[in-house]
Chain A
């Protein structure tokens, strides 16, 4: 499929907010997802947003969706060193591939003390 775009790296200080951005490709995507991957591990589903929503908040995580620009962001408040990981944005473009996800290349988040 076409590329879901994410910036590759982000470095923040502990306690600051992190904002990870993503541009997706398919305006028909019904859901958009954020996954977290720690070194050598599988992907952990962090949160997802339905395409008719503008915002979703879940504890320290806030997802913003701009459907017109096909832009998705993940804000992590009060970022901790344990948040250091790779964050993947994903879309599910259509049901023709069994709702398989189309992923970006991931953003490596480094949280420094």
Chain B
């Protein structure tokens, strides 16, 4: 089965703790993305990576970090510096180059109390 997996589906953390969200794809896609979704809002771009060992900040990167050591994996760390971390986090991928279709994983709902 090809696709994008995100784990876990629900994640609970105490304020002040860092937490890492997993995103794995077996589609052999070059580009990967992290978006954040808040209730009643569209998606906002956190980070993206177009190739292994390279990534760029999106519109709301503050308080987040990523790595791209392997083509299939793009983990997102939500640090204690993120002021409002409770949200639904969505990972996406794209073949790469100028191909435009972007496919999404099932999402991780993070709750920080």
Bits for B70-107, please: 1 = Cβ < 8 Å to A, else 0.
00000000000000000000101010001011111111
Segment of A10-18, A52-60, A101-109 in the binding face: A101-109
A1 to chain B: which residues have CB within 8 Å? Answer: 59
* Interface size classification for chain A: 20 to 34
Instruction: Determine if B56 and A43 form an interchain contact, defined as CB atoms under 8 angstroms apart.
Output: no
Instruction: Determine if B50 and A98 form an interchain contact, defined as CB atoms under 8 angstroms apart.
Output: yes
Instruction: Determine if B42 and A103 form an interchain contact, defined as CB atoms under 8 angstroms apart.
Output: yes
Instruction: Determine if A99 and B42 form an interchain contact, defined as CB atoms under 8 angstroms apart.
Output: no
A99 to B58: give the CA distance in the assembly, Å. 11
Q: Which A residues have a C-beta under 8 Å from some C-beta of B?
A: 1, 4, 8, 30-31, 33, 35, 40-45, 48, 88, 92, 95, 97-101, 103-106
Q: Which B residues have a C-beta under 8 Å from some C-beta of A?
A: 4, 6, 31, 33, 35, 40-45, 48-50, 56, 58-59, 90, 92, 94, 98, 100-107, 109
User: Other than the known A42-B105, A45-B104, what 6 A-B pairs have Cβ atoms closer than 8 Å?
Assistant: A33-B102, A43-B104, A44-B104, A88-B42, A98-B33, A103-B42
The 27 listed contacts between A and B (C-beta, < 8 Å) are A1-B59, A8-B40, A40-B107, A40-B109, A41-B106, A42-B4, A42-B6, A42-B105, A42-B107, A43-B90, A43-B104, A45-B102, A45-B103, A45-B104, A48-B100, A48-B101, A95-B98, A97-B56, A97-B58, A98-B50, A98-B56, A99-B31, A100-B58, A101-B102, A103-B44, A104-B42, A105-B42
